[in-house]
Amino acid sequence: MLDGKNILLVIGGGIAAFKALDLIRQLRKQGASVTPVITRAGQEFVTPLSASALAGSKVYTDLFSLTDEAEMGHIELSRAADLVVVAPATADLLAKMANGMANDLASTLLLATDTRILVAPSMNVRMWQHRATQRNVATLAGDGVLFVGPDEGAMACGEFGPGRLAEPAAITAAITAAITDGPLANKHILVTSGPTHEPIDPVRYIANRSSGAQGSAIALALSALGAKVTFISGPADVAPPAGVTVVQVKTAREMLIAAQNALPADAAIFAAAVADWRVTSEAKSKIKKDNKGGLPVLEFAENPDILATISQMKTGRPALVVGFAAETDNVLENATAKRLRKGCDWIIANDVSPETGIMGGHENAVTLIDETSAENWPRMGKDAVAKQLAQRISAFLTS
Ligand code: CTP
């Protein structure tokens, strides 16, 4: 698949650097040639000799090596590749890249290159979630840098969460997609995600327990297949994925407008947990406890149904509309009826009873319901559900 392709692999310093060796092996198996560049910190985890042996090529480590400059200068090195891959990319490397710093060989060639860059971050969960890192990720994504991972899971430091280096197989798949464009190239897909917040007064709102994890994972999986994704998100806990167009909204009505504005789209996936009701009596100033009238009485109105509105469009309807059905009882029966009532093509049913731990958790157990069948998928990580769904969407749109 990668025959004749030339990958420049920057190996940063991090506990996951050892996986870069497996990545080299997998890339070569696919027919690519790999030129490793190892940062000073990276050399604490991986020796140039082992990378060189696996890559079957010279390994570069220093900026000021006269021999290297004579044979192949760093500018040349950065441009001879079909793709520059950074794995693992530490928080420090991302910060350098986002700010255009060039104080060692890796950062210099990342600044000098005119080739596309794919980054596989790996760091402690708090470092990943830190605003500074998320700012750098957003800057880099805006600059067109591609991302794969990080994955979620137990980390070497004993914590749990996003920050693990994506598996070498996933990085190889992302490299292949980046070089070959992916099956969903030229397809535009709209994804809604997260909860909505419906204001009661300027400081209080009605919300739900959706973390936005499943929607984020779906957006990422679709973009990894080459789709152009518009990601419309309510106030979620999980950060939006890199490499997609993000539209932040708060209320259901804002989400509907954003979805309509994002059309036309080839497919639309409605993973958001939209609040069904909003408060019509929204107060303009904070409701005080000492109000003479006693306890406040809230009046509700039904929110627009975004999924039903888009599903039932007479013209310009996306070719594939996918809804979710969050149920606590009679999951299959309710979800099947919901698909028909809303008019979407597929509905992904899941049991969100508290004992399942699905709402706000890391795993999901879903049933994919279409016009003719109901297919149970085994319980798996939300990332795995997203990848499987993205494959199905890709098969539908490209058949
Ligand atoms: N949905 C939507 N707009 C709404 C409510 C729901 O787009 N105002 C979408 C959700 O994104 C999801 C699907 O409709 O894809 C089903 O959401 P769910 O909460 O399961 O169903 P509801 O329509 O809210 O019905 P109920 O609460 O009665 O189960």
Residue ranges per structural domain of the chain: 6-180, 188-283+295-398
User: What value does the mean pLDDT take over residues 49-63?
Assistant: 88
CA 231 to chain CA mean position, Å = 10
pLDDT given at position 226: 84
Please indicate whether residue 272, judged by its CB atom, sits closer than 6 Å to ligand 1: yes
Residue 142, pLDDT above cutoff 80: no
pLDDT given at position 72: 60
Give the model's confidence band at 249: pLDDT under 50 very low, under 70 low, under 90 confident, else very high: very high
pLDDT given at position 71: 57
Q: Which of 247, 251, 195 is nearest to 219 (CA)?
A: 247
Q: Distance between terminal CA atoms of the chain? A: 21
Please indicate whether residue 325, judged by its CB atom, sits closer than 6 Å to ligand 1: yes
Give the model's confidence band at 343: pLDDT under 50 very low, under 70 low, under 90 confident, else very high: very high
User: What value does the mean pLDDT take over residues 174-192?
Assistant: 89
Residue 69, pLDDT above cutoff 60: no
Residue 78, pLDDT above cutoff 90: no
Helix or strand (DSSP H, E) at 191:
strand 188-193
Separation of CA 272 and ligand 1 centre (Å) = 8
Residue 165, pLDDT above cutoff 60: yes
Please indicate whether residue 277, judged by its CB atom, sits closer than 6 Å to ligand 1: no
Mean model confidence pLDDT for the chain = 91
Residue 322, pLDDT above cutoff 90: yes
pLDDT given at position 67: 57
pLDDT given at position 48: 92
Task: Answer yes or no: same fold for 6-180 and 188-283+295-398.
Answer: yes
Q: Which of 394, 368, 395, 363 is nearest to 381 (CA)?
A: 363
**What atom of ligand 1 comes closest to residue 192's alpha carbon?**
11
| Beta pairing partners, 278 | 301
**What atom of ligand 1 comes closest to residue 326's alpha carbon?**
20
CB atoms within 10 A of CB 286: 11
User: What value does the mean pLDDT take over residues 11-35?
Assistant: 94
Which residues lie below 8 Å from residue 295, measured CB to CB, with a gap of 6+?
Answer: none
User: What value does the mean pLDDT take over residues 256-261?
Assistant: 98
157 is catalytic: yes
Residue 394, pLDDT above cutoff 70: yes
Highest mean pLDDT among 72-86, 228-242, 302-316: 302-316
Answer whether 28's CB lies under 8 Å from 54's CB: yes
pLDDT given at position 14: 87
User: What value does the mean pLDDT take over residues 360-367?
Assistant: 86
Q: State the CATH class of domain 188-283+295-398.
A: alpha beta
Hey, whose CA ends up nearest to atom 24 of ligand 1?
276
Give the model's confidence band at 241: pLDDT under 50 very low, under 70 low, under 90 confident, else very high: confident
Q: Which of 374, 330, 336, 321 is nearest to 351 (CA)?
A: 330
Separation of CA 281 and ligand 1 centre (Å) = 23
Q: CA 211, CA 8: separation in Å to the nearest integer?
A: 36
pLDDT given at position 344: 98
**What atom of ligand 1 comes closest to residue 310's alpha carbon?**
7
User: What value does the mean pLDDT take over residues 33-46?
Assistant: 94
User: What value does the mean pLDDT take over residues 98-102?
Assistant: 94
Ligand 1 pocket test, pick from 255, 324, 327, 352 with the greatest ligand atom count within 8 Å of Cβ, gives: 324
Q: pLDDT over 70 for what percent of the chain?
A: 95
pLDDT given at position 309: 98
pLDDT given at position 200: 97
pLDDT given at position 64: 61
Residue 77, pLDDT above cutoff 80: no
Please indicate whether residue 346, judged by its CB atom, sits closer than 6 Å to ligand 1: no
Encoded tokens for 41: 């910190």
User: What value does the mean pLDDT take over residues 298-318?
Assistant: 97
Separation of CA 345 and ligand 1 centre (Å) = 15
pTM for this prediction = 0.68
Ligand 1 pocket test, pick from 191, 257, 269, 305 with the greatest ligand atom count within 8 Å of Cβ, gives: 305
pLDDT given at position 2: 86
CB atoms within 10 A of CB 263: 15
Give domain 6-180's CATH number out of 3.30.830.10, 1.20.1050.10, 2.30.130.10, 3.40.50.1950.
Answer: 3.40.50.1950
Residue 214, pLDDT above cutoff 80: yes
Residue 233, pLDDT above cutoff 60: yes
pLDDT given at position 393: 98
Ligand 1 pocket test, pick from 274, 305, 350 with the greatest ligand atom count within 8 Å of Cβ, gives: 274
Please indicate whether residue 269, judged by its CB atom, sits closer than 6 Å to ligand 1: no
